[in-house]
Amino acid sequence: MTLPVSRPYAGPLQAVVLDWAGTAVDYGCLGPVDVFVRAFAQHDIPVTVAEARVPMGLKKIDHVRAVLAMPAVAERVADIKGHPPTEADVLAIYHDTEAMMVAAIVDHAELIPGLLDAVAAFRAMGLKIGTSTGYTSSMMDVLVPLARRQGYTPDLVVCSTDVPAGRPSPFMCYKNALLLEVYPLEAMVKIGDTPSDVQEGLHAGMWTIALTRSGNELGLSKEDADALPPAELAARLADIEARFQAQGAHYVVQTIADCPAVLEDITRRLAAGERP
């Protein structure tokens, strides 16, 4: 029996999958990091903002585990509590994190400038708009209506709690593809602002776009980012870009506003038979 020859997909892009905090809302991804620092402090464990940012994008309970697994943090826990971090510590800190995060979302739900214009451009290209997030369903029950009131209504919201495992696994991307009824996966683009976003998209077989300025890696409000001396801002963004490229991101841009032009380039590459 002769099997059919598999040919590279040369059709159009069909969908994008956007992250939330740092990509679509909450410029600088300020809400989650503040909550993590305060939640750890409630258990007498000091963590720095930089430490709290490292695992950003993971499922929130996995984020707590990742911070506790950092050697410097684990050493602090041992000094303070007399034993290394345990799963009981994870669960206790996460319990506080969940409630605090839901409350914090209300103050960190403003759309990132350029989002609505980008979404309009995606719609004009005929794209479906899915989303994935490290937030839980209860957190998104608060955020989604706030975003809707500002005009942002993606077609689908998939949370880390909706799938067997969150980032860097590809399951949220897979669920987006399934529920949006899109295939092949190279007809989709993952857009996010953390290394785990990039890994999620790559593991799913999608094109990936990483954002340097609006998200977790720079970690500044728009006002604070704009206030940096231009040379310092450029140097910081170049460093973030290099880190994303080392992760394997197909494209690196500053904010969601830059993405429509990137999608035009991906469309050209697909038509030429290229794959992610």
Rounded CA-CA distance 58/199 in Å is 11
Rounded CA-CA distance 70/76 in Å is 10
Q: Looking at this protein, which amino acid is placed at residue 29? A: C
Query: Binning pLDDT at 50, 70 and 90, where does residue 2 land?
Result: low
**Which domains, from first to last, does the chain contain?**
15-29+109-271 (3.40.50.1000), 31-107 (1.10.150.240)
The predicted structure's pLDDT at residue 63: 94
Q: Looking at this protein, which amino acid is placed at residue 10? A: A
The predicted structure's pLDDT at residue 20: 98
pLDDT in tens, 87-146: 999 999 999 998 899 889 999 999 999 999 999 999 999 999 999 999 999 999 999 999
Query: Binning pLDDT at 50, 70 and 90, where does residue 261 land?
Result: very high
The predicted structure's pLDDT at residue 98: 87
Rounded average pLDDT over 71-92 = 95
Rounded average pLDDT over 44-65 = 94
Query: Binning pLDDT at 50, 70 and 90, where does residue 8 land?
Result: confident
Rounded average pLDDT over 148-176 = 97
pLDDT at 55 over 60: yes
CA distances from 129 to 24, 81, 229 (A): 12, 46, 35
Rounded CA-CA distance 73/79 in Å is 10
pLDDT at 201 over 70: yes
Rounded average pLDDT over 155-174 = 96
> Which H or E element spans position 61?
helix 60-69
Report the b/e string of 68-85 with b at 16+ CB within 10 A.
Answer: bebeebeebbeeeeeeeb
Say how many C-beta atoms besides its own lie within 10 A of residue 167's C-beta.
Answer: 30
Q: Report yes or no: 56 and 68 within 8 Å, Cβ to Cβ.
A: no
Query: Binning pLDDT at 50, 70 and 90, where does residue 187 land?
Result: very high
pLDDT at 152 over 70: yes
The predicted structure's pLDDT at residue 166: 92
What angle is formed at CA 222 by the lines to CA 234 and CA 19, rounded to 5 degrees? 95
Cis peptide preceding 113, ω within 30 of 0: no
Rounded to the nearest integer, the mean pLDDT of the chain is 95
Rounded average pLDDT over 46-68 = 94
Does 224 participate in catalysis according to the annotation?
no
More confident of the two residues 63 and 2: 63
Q: Which of 59, 60, 128, 175 is catalytic?
A: 60
The predicted structure's pLDDT at residue 215: 96
Does 81 participate in catalysis according to the annotation?
no
Instruction: Work out whether strand 15-18 and strand 128-133 pair parallel, antiparallel, or are unpaired.
Output: parallel
Cis peptide preceding 8, ω within 30 of 0: no
Tokens read off for 168: 């860097």
pLDDT at 49 over 80: yes
Q: Report, in angstroms and rounded to the nearest whole number, the Rg of the chain calculated over CA atoms.
A: 19
User: Coil, strand, or helix at residue 258?
Assistant: helix
Length of the chain: 276
